[in-house]
């Protein structure tokens, strides 16, 4: 069975996140299937993007659940969240940059729910005294998405080693680039 729906979507995301104007034929080739088969499973380009959004939301809902955001400190939960996000980082990279989904209502609801969970996590960290209060939860949420996407690209381009994915993101996000003496 050459047709693994989720894997096709992942391949599509990997390609589209780099070349958003890619042809349906290019997407099919990238996924290792024929264009006809691609059309059999996704009615059209819109349906494909919708499926990508749906998969992305579903995967990250699951990632959030696996990360057990409510357990331990917010900082610990954040580390688990980044670890859980690695698998679908390319998908996130595509979705973050594909902000033309401002028409979808159902989709935005899903993103709003995810944003709320991340935002709440940062807010909890601020309440616990571990996260700076001069950086808004909304910005930290966006920055987390951005860093994950950026690192996914950097890994794809070979500028960052795949094994360093989690470390580079979490260390930069939490600790920053400046060297401090006590760390």
Binding site for DNA (CB under 7 A): 1-3, 23-25, 32-37, 39-41, 43-46
Asked if residues 5 and 41 have their Cβ atoms less than 8 Å apart, the reply is yes
In the list DNA, a second copy, none, the entry touching 50 (Cβ below 5 to 8 angstroms by class) is none
In the list DNA, a second copy, none, the entry touching 83 (Cβ below 5 to 8 angstroms by class) is none
Picking from 129, 52, 138, 59, the residue whose alpha carbon sits closest to that of residue 97 is 52
Q: Of 56, 140, 163, 166, which lies in the binding site for a second copy, with binding defined by CB under 8 A?
A: 140
Token pair 């088969």 in the structure block, residue: 37
Instruction: Using the minimum distance from each CB to DNA, give the nearer residue, 101 or 120.
Output: 101
Pairwise CA distance, residues 42 & 117, whole Å? 30
For residue 104, what are the contacts with CB-CB under 8 A and spacing of at least 6? Answer: 50, 53
Pairwise CA distance, residues 100 & 46, whole Å? 11
Q: Binding to a second copy by residue 133, rule CB under 8 A?
A: yes
Tell me how far, at minimum, the Cβ of 3 lies from DNA, in Å.
3
Instruction: Using the minimum distance from each CB to DNA, give the nearer residue, 100 or 180.
Output: 100
Q: Binding to a second copy by residue 130, rule CB under 8 A?
A: yes
Q: Does residue 51 sit in helix, strand or coil?
A: helix
Contacts with a second copy in 46-105 (CB under 8 A)?
75, 97, 99-100
In the list a second copy, DNA, none, the entry touching 44 (Cβ below 5 to 8 angstroms by class) is DNA
Instruction: Using the minimum distance from each CB to a second copy, give the nearer residue, 2 or 138.
Output: 138
Pairwise CA distance, residues 179 & 150, whole Å? 22
Pairwise CA distance, residues 140 & 146, whole Å? 10
Asked if residues 2 and 11 have their Cβ atoms less than 8 Å apart, the reply is no
Positions touching a second copy (CB under 8 A) are: 18-21, 75, 97, 99-100, 122, 125, 129-136, 138-140, 142-143, 145-147, 149-151, 153-154, 157, 159-160, 164, 167-168, 171-180, 182-183
């Amino acid at each position: 069975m050459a047709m693994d729906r989720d894997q096709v979507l992942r391949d599509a995301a990997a390609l589209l996140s780099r070349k958003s104007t890619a042809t349906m034929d290019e997407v099919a080739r990238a996924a290792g299937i024929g264009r006809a088969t691609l059309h059999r499973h996704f009615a059209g380009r819109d349906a494909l993007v919708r499926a990508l959004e749906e998969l992305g939301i579903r995967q990250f809902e699951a990632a959030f659940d696996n990360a057990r955001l409510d357990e331990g400190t917010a900082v610990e939960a954040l580390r688990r969240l980044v670890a859980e996000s690695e698998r679908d980082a390319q998908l996130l990279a595509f979705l973050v940059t594909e902000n033309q989904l401002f028409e979808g209502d159902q989709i935005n609801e899903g993103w709003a729910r995810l944003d709320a969970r991340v935002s709440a996590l940062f807010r909890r960290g601020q309440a616990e005294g571990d996260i700076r209060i001069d950086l808004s939860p909304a910005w930290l949420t966006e920055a987390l998405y951005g860093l994950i996407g950026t690192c996914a690209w950097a890994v794809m381009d070979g500028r960052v080693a795949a094994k360093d994915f989690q470390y580079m993101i979490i260390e930069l996000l939490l600790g920053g680039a400046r060297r401090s003496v006590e760390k």
